[in-house]
A and B are shown apart, each in its own frame.
Chain A
Amino acid sequence: MAWACAGGGVLKVFMLDTHVHTCLSPCGDLDMHPSGLVAAARAARLDAVGVCDHNSARNVAATMRAGARAGLTVVPGMEIASEEEVHVLAFLPDVEAAERLQQRVYDVLPGKNDAAAFGEQVVADEHGEVVALDDRLLIGATQWSVDEVVRAIHEVDGLAIAAHVDRERFGLLGQLGFVPPGLALDAIEVSRRTTMPEARARFGALGFPIVTASDAHEPKDIGAAVTLMLLERIDHDEVRRALEGRNGRAVLGGGRPMDDLALHVLDIAQNALDAGATRVEIELVEDLDRDLLTIEVRDNGRGMPSDVVAKASDPFYTTRTTRKVGMGLSLLGEAARAAGGGLTIESAPGEGTRVRVRFQHAHVDRAPVGDLEGTLMALMAGRPDVDVRFRHLLDDREFSVSSREIALELHGRSVQSPEGLTLLRQTIRRGEASLAARPMTAKRE
Chain B
Amino acid sequence: MTVREAAAALGGAVASGETDAGRLIGGGYASDLLSDVIANGHEGDLWITLQKHPNIVAVAVLKGLAGIVLVNGREPEPDTIARANEEHVPIVTTRLEAFEVAGTLYGLGVRGRRSSEGVHA
Which residues of A line the B interface, CB within 8 A?
83-85, 145-146, 168-169, 173-178, 180
Contacts and interface: CB of A to CB of B under 8 A. Distances in A.
Given A84-B51, A145-B53, A168 B77 contact: no
Contacts of A173: 35
Interface stretch (B11-19, B21-29, B54-62, B89-97): B54-62
Contacts of B54: 180
B58 to A, nearest CB: 7
A113 to B, nearest CB: 22
Q: Which 9 A-B pairs have the closest CB atoms?
A: A177-B34, A176-B55, A174-B35, A176-B34, A177-B35, A177-B38, A84-B53, A177-B59, A180-B55
Nearest to A183: B55
B73 to A, nearest CB: 14
A175 B77 contact: no
B57 to A, nearest CB: 11
13 contacts: A83-B53, A84-B53, A168-B33, A168-B36, A173-B35, A174-B35, A175-B35, A176-B53, A177-B37, A177-B55, A178-B55, A178-B58, A180-B54
Main secondary structure, interface of A, reads loop
B56 to A, nearest CB: 9
Contacts, number: 40
B38 A145 contact: no
Nearest to B34: A177
Contacts of B52: 83
Given A168-B36, A177-B58, 7 more contacts: A83-B53, A168-B35, A174-B36, A175-B33, A177-B37, A177-B55, A178-B34
Contacts of A175: 32-35, 51
A166 B109 CA distance: 37
A82 to B, nearest CB: 9
Contacts of B77: 145
A174 B53 CA distance: 13
A168 B32 CA distance: 11
A180 B33 contact: no
Contact of A180 (B35, B38, B53): B53
A258 B24 CA distance: 55
A175 B55 CA distance: 10
A181 to B, nearest CB: 8
B108 to A, nearest CB: 28
A146 B35 contact: no
B86 to A, nearest CB: 13
Nearest to B51: A84
B4 to A, nearest CB: 26
A169 B31 CA distance: 12
B52 to A, nearest CB: 8
A146 to B, nearest CB: 7
Interface in B29-74: 32-38, 51-55, 58-59
B114 to A, nearest CB: 19
Contacts of A177: 34-35, 37-38, 55, 58-59
A47 B36 CA distance: 38
A265 to B, nearest CB: 35
A108 to B, nearest CB: 14
A166 to B, nearest CB: 11
Contacts of B38: 177
Contacts of B51: 84, 175-176
Kindly name the residue among A84, A173, A177 whose own CB sees the greatest number of chain B CB atoms within 10 A.
A177
Q: Which of A169, A174, A176 has the most CB of B within 10 A?
A: A176
A180 B59 CA distance: 11
Contacts of A168: 33, 35-36
Contacts of A169: 33
A399 to B, nearest CB: 36
Nearest to B62: A177
A234 B51 CA distance: 39
Contacts of A84: 51, 53
